[in-house]
Chain A
Amino acid sequence: MQFFQPATWVEALETKAAHPEAVPIAGGTDVMVELNLDHNRPPAFIDLTRIGELTEWGMEDGLLRVGAGVTYTRLVDELGDRLPALAIASRTVGSPQIRNRGTVGGNLGTASPAGDALPPLLACDAQVELASTSGARRVPVREFFTGPKRNAMKKDELIAAYWVASAPGPQQFAKVGTRNAMVIAVCSFALALDPTRRIAGTGIGSAGPTPLRATEADEFIAGELDWANHTRPSEATLARFGELVAAAAKPIDDVRGTADYRRHALAVMARRCLSWCWN
């Protein structure tokens, strides 16, 4: 096992290019569990915690560019008003100890369907910036997840940042777990509304092989909502929205919950999130 500790982003990319099997590590909240519990013995690690630019965020080209290494604690403290769904989700990640270390970059890299940050990124139509020695590219989050714990990254790429619009409208996130803190999602749901463009985005967590978007639900509710007068959607509309979100899920029975319950809970959360967004 080798341990690389690049001091600069360029050096990190060169290291990854030279050692494509090396596992990048930042907050360690996923990687270290695999290591400590002897689930995985990668040939090498690349420590990304020395690279200052990964922990920066700012506005560029009208979008927020958030470095992959910004922790959940900082997201809550610094970006809560600009990225409310992501901030609500960040607050549900583990404990203060985990939020002080864990990063959205890690969530994207692991690409677990249970990654708490992922449904909000889907709902907000964020883009992932991937980089290698041959350059950078942006991949829409909606195309990023290719299978269970698989993503669109090439072997020589690292996650630099994600790009997302500062919330143009209300956003919500809800997560079901079987205790009141410190829980991996049984299922989760994010909703982002854009009143200017009159579109809605959804994200579903822990209810399929990847984080999912409920496209039909997005389109349905974008058409149903009274964007002009902001009247409250009918119970039937809320219920239909919930049904469409549930229908978009592809859950299984596992140790955290049943497929039927996940569909049921997604419908409830979708209804509630929509009503909270609209009130």
Chain B
Amino acid sequence: MKVGESVRRPDGQAKVHGSFVYSSDLHVDGMLWGATVRSPHPHARILSIEAAAARAMPGVHAVLTHADVPGEKLYGLEIADQPVLAIDEVNYWGEAVALVAADHPEQARRAAAAVKVEYEVLPPVTRAEDGRVLRHVKIRHGDQSAHAEVVVRGDYEIGMQDQAPLGPESGLAIPDGAGGVDLHIATQWLHVDQQQLASILALPREKVRLTMAGIGGAFGSREDLSMQAHACLLAIRTGSPVKIAYSRPESFVGHVHRHPGTLVYEHGADRDGKLVYVKARILLDGGAYASSSTAVIANATCFSCGPYLMPNATIDGIVVYTNNPPCGAMRGFGSVQNCYAHEAQMDKLAAALGMDPVELRIKNALKTGDRLITGQIIDGPVPVAELLRRVRAFPEPAGDGLMPGGYSNTTHGEGVKRGVGYAAGFKNIGYSEGFDDYSTARVRLFVHEGRPRVEVHSAAAEVGQGVVMVQAQIAGSVLGVNDVVVLNADTGVGSAGSSSASRQTYITGGAVQAAAEAVRARVIELGESELGGELPVGNEAALATLLGDAVIEETREFRPRATHHLDPETGQSDAHMQFAFAAHRAIVDVDTELGLVKVVELTTAQDVGKAINPLAVEGQLEGGAAQGLGLAVMEEIQLKDGVIRNASFTDYLLPTMLDMPPVKMDILELGDPNSPYGLKGVGEPPTISSGPAIVAAIRAATGREIDRVPVRPHDLTL
């Protein structure tokens, strides 16, 4: 149980046997099922809600509207602008309007269908260009009138991606009979849910207790509230436990999505390929409510130039409100959209200069001590050039695999061309812009069945990434104990912050390390008084003897170094705490006549600082790349006049095993001097540059300019 070992997941056995309890598996006797009445219009005024017929239906226990929300009627991660239940207006298709609780899910569905809502349909704002500005981030770096000998321009469009975690939103709220409620929920951040719920329910926080239920993936989709408040409202009203479990179509309207965007770039370089300036305008569609849009646009803007030294930059990042589905967090968080643009620009520039695209990138690659376009001096290892060299150095595979089209028999080789593409990307790890980033961990050491046992308790969300395992490894390493139990996350311990921003191993890992070290210090003290200074750490028998009946418990908060607000006019600031880098090479076969793509191989190199669990790191690099592949060639929420046309897994396509190629990887452990064990956040960089590398490879195979993702067959043929 040590840092650096590929320790197996403690929840693995339960997960392979089907006994791991996910939020949708929760059940208690007498439980009611909740259902949600949703808006069929992207924008409308609510004239009336008639619920009497629904209330009278068999098995129905309650029908609630906004009038039944006892506390704050609006909530939100950054700005409280989203109604718990629509009040007098609906602003996106699928917005929650009313709630039903009934004995059987079918009764709840029928009753929900029987709630009559009279709408006055209003024209929706569905083009980001027409949207109301939510945040405009400006970066004015260096010479604002810089000129260059070689200039390339491009307009890029990014489709709306869904996190599509396999476990739909679900949870169980149990009233405590004393006005409070216990919510068992799959969420990325228990405490921010609790804070919002307390305000909505008009209850003190201690009366809204949250316990983590098994999470079926997250990827950003569980940062905002979905059904949490709804289940609690129904439970408190009915006095019965209430479960809400979304169907897949409902899940598509039940959580935020990755922002779609249009990005207009102009790059200037000198004849030798040294970058001179960038001018860019990034417009993201935030949809109906703010969610985390204000932070996403900051990222999109701050990292708009990619991991390259850019002496002069004029960047305008704008996120707007529309009547499209709300957008917010998804793996990569603003750095995915811009990577498509800056990497396409780098390839265009290389072509204009007659340079090799990898050489152009290496020539301009960021290095330690360089100044970012936000003015921040970047410290720690910055191995951008090295990552590119490494992915380039991998041998290229032969072409003996499956043809584009798979088993659909579309080609026997006709029209198939191969292409190779490269991309690099980077982003911040942890929260930025002065947000108080911290986590809390409690570590207990005691003797259990004759052996020392360590219990670790934090509120960190195990979304699949393995933070349960990482916490055990860190505590085990510090205390030299093999029997480490990580307790289920709940609000009985302080906040861990969210499992997002690739931060949890760093921040909660840091808190566990600090708490374990505090326990260790007390063991040493105890050893000094009992054993005259001898430290039994590493010797379990001696440690057990020393401890006897003693229970040593310490709780610690951990904070990484502070960050600062962006200057509103220039965007200059030390706004970020840590940076992570990755590079990808993609090899694709394209049926150029049918426009079908088979990604043959992905190769990546990433600096992870220190691999706390190498097997888990590989899993992040492979899984993150698969989500990058998805956006590149198939995943898009398609909207028409604000309405989602493909809210199902039949038409929102996720990569299957026949779509995702093997990932060859080179994992660097260069050690960040500022972080616990030198680690860097790992989860997001694989999703950033993988897709742009695939698109670059498709461009190379087809000779076509591709300025939009996902790339569709008709984009490659007509």
Residues of A within 8 A of B (CB): 33, 36-38, 88, 91-92, 172-184, 186, 255-258, 260-261, 264-265, 268-269, 272, 276
In the bound assembly, the distance between CA atoms of A124 and B300 in angstroms comes to 55
Contact of A261 among B415, B659, B718 (CB under 8 A): B718
Q: B713: CB under 8 A from chain A?
A: yes
In chain B, residues 244-266, which have Cβ atoms closer than 8 Å to a Cβ of chain A?
247-249
In the bound assembly, the distance between CA atoms of A268 and B414 in angstroms comes to 10
In the bound assembly, the distance between CA atoms of A265 and B596 in angstroms comes to 10
Q: List 9 A-B contacts (CB under 8 A).
A: A36-B247, A37-B247, A38-B247, A179-B659, A180-B408, A184-B650, A260-B718, A261-B712, A264-B718
B126 to nearest A CB, angstroms? 16
B369 to nearest A CB, angstroms? 44
CB pair B410–A183 under 8 Å, yes or no, is no
Chain A CB within 10 Å, residue with most, of B408, B414, B648: B408
CB pair A176–B659 under 8 Å, yes or no, is no
| Chain B binding surface SS class | loop
CB pair A176–B410 under 8 Å, yes or no, is yes
Residues of B within 8 A of A (CB): 109, 247-249, 402, 404-412, 414-415, 593-596, 598, 633-634, 638, 645-646, 648, 650-651, 653, 655-659, 712-714, 717-718
CB pair A255–B638 under 8 Å, yes or no, is yes
Given contacts A176-B594, A180-B659, contact A261 B650 (CB under 8 A): no
In the bound assembly, the distance between CA atoms of A243 and B143 in angstroms comes to 57
CB pair A268–B593 under 8 Å, yes or no, is yes
In the bound assembly, the distance between CA atoms of A257 and B402 in angstroms comes to 23
Set of chain A residues within 8 Å of B659, measured between Cβ atoms = 179-181
Given contacts A177-B408, A186-B713, contact A256 B651 (CB under 8 A): yes
Set of chain A residues within 8 Å of B657, measured between Cβ atoms = 181
CB pair A257–B714 under 8 Å, yes or no, is yes
| B593 nearest CB neighbor, chain A only | A268
Given contacts A179-B659, A180-B658, A265-B713, contact A272 B653 (CB under 8 A): no
CB pair B412–A269 under 8 Å, yes or no, is no
Chain B CB within 10 Å, residue with most, of A33, A172, A258, A269: A269
CB pair B714–A258 under 8 Å, yes or no, is yes
Given contacts A186-B713, A261-B714, contact A37 B411 (CB under 8 A): no
B317 to nearest A CB, angstroms? 30
B527 to nearest A CB, angstroms? 59
Cβ-Cβ contact count across A and B, 8 Å cutoff: 101
In the bound assembly, the distance between CA atoms of A173 and B633 in angstroms comes to 24
Given contacts A261-B717, A265-B594, contact A182 B408 (CB under 8 A): no
In the bound assembly, the distance between CA atoms of A265 and B406 in angstroms comes to 16
CB pair A176–B414 under 8 Å, yes or no, is no
CB pair B408–A174 under 8 Å, yes or no, is yes
Given contacts A38-B109, A258-B714, A261-B717, contact A92 B593 (CB under 8 A): no
Set of chain B residues within 8 Å of A181, measured between Cβ atoms = 406-407, 656-659
Given contacts A37-B648, A256-B651, A265-B594, contact A175 B718 (CB under 8 A): no
Set of chain A residues within 8 Å of B655, measured between Cβ atoms = 179
In the bound assembly, the distance between CA atoms of A182 and B408 in angstroms comes to 10
In the bound assembly, the distance between CA atoms of A70 and B14 in angstroms comes to 37
B345 to nearest A CB, angstroms? 27
In the bound assembly, the distance between CA atoms of A40 and B714 in angstroms comes to 33
Knowing that A180-B408, A257-B713 touch, tell me 14 more A-B residue pairs with CB under 8 angstroms: A38-B109, A91-B407, A172-B409, A174-B405, A175-B408, A178-B712, A179-B653, A180-B402, A180-B406, A180-B656, A181-B657, A265-B594, A265-B713, A272-B411
Chain B CB within 10 Å, residue with most, of A180, A181, A183, A265: A180
| A175 nearest CB neighbor, chain B only | B408
CB pair A260–B714 under 8 Å, yes or no, is yes
Set of chain A residues within 8 Å of B645, measured between Cβ atoms = 255
| Nearest 7 pairs of A and B residues by beta carbon | A180-B406, A261-B714, A181-B658, A180-B658, A175-B408, A255-B645, A181-B656
In the bound assembly, the distance between CA atoms of A264 and B718 in angstroms comes to 8
Contact of B713 among A36, A176, A276 (CB under 8 A): A176
Chain A CB within 10 Å, residue with most, of B405, B410, B596: B410
| A1 nearest CB neighbor, chain B only | B106
CB pair B407–A264 under 8 Å, yes or no, is no
In the bound assembly, the distance between CA atoms of A184 and B634 in angstroms comes to 13
Set of chain B residues within 8 Å of A174, measured between Cβ atoms = 405, 408-410
| A88 nearest CB neighbor, chain B only | B409
Set of chain A residues within 8 Å of B402, measured between Cβ atoms = 180
A170 to nearest B CB, angstroms? 13
Set of chain A residues within 8 Å of B633, measured between Cβ atoms = 178-179
CB pair B713–A261 under 8 Å, yes or no, is yes
Set of chain B residues within 8 Å of A261, measured between Cβ atoms = 595, 712-714, 717-718
In the bound assembly, the distance between CA atoms of A181 and B656 in angstroms comes to 7
| B113 nearest CB neighbor, chain A only | A38
Set of chain B residues within 8 Å of A272, measured between Cβ atoms = 410-412, 414
Set of chain A residues within 8 Å of B408, measured between Cβ atoms = 92, 174-177, 180, 183
Set of chain A residues within 8 Å of B717, measured between Cβ atoms = 261, 264-265
A248 to nearest B CB, angstroms? 19
CB pair A255–B651 under 8 Å, yes or no, is yes
Set of chain A residues within 8 Å of B414, measured between Cβ atoms = 272
Given contacts A180-B659, A183-B653, contact A92 B409 (CB under 8 A): yes
Set of chain B residues within 8 Å of A184, measured between Cβ atoms = 650-651
B164 to nearest A CB, angstroms? 14
In the bound assembly, the distance between CA atoms of A33 and B407 in angstroms comes to 24
A179 to nearest B CB, angstroms? 5
In the bound assembly, the distance between CA atoms of A261 and B711 in angstroms comes to 14
In the bound assembly, the distance between CA atoms of A170 and B595 in angstroms comes to 27
Set of chain B residues within 8 Å of A172, measured between Cβ atoms = 409
| B598 nearest CB neighbor, chain A only | A180
In the bound assembly, the distance between CA atoms of A174 and B409 in angstroms comes to 5
CB pair A180–B593 under 8 Å, yes or no, is no
CB pair B409–A175 under 8 Å, yes or no, is yes
Set of chain A residues within 8 Å of B634, measured between Cβ atoms = 178-179
Set of chain A residues within 8 Å of B648, measured between Cβ atoms = 37
CB pair B593–A37 under 8 Å, yes or no, is no
In the bound assembly, the distance between CA atoms of A189 and B653 in angstroms comes to 22
In the bound assembly, the distance between CA atoms of A177 and B247 in angstroms comes to 25
A268 to nearest B CB, angstroms? 5
In the bound assembly, the distance between CA atoms of A92 and B656 in angstroms comes to 14
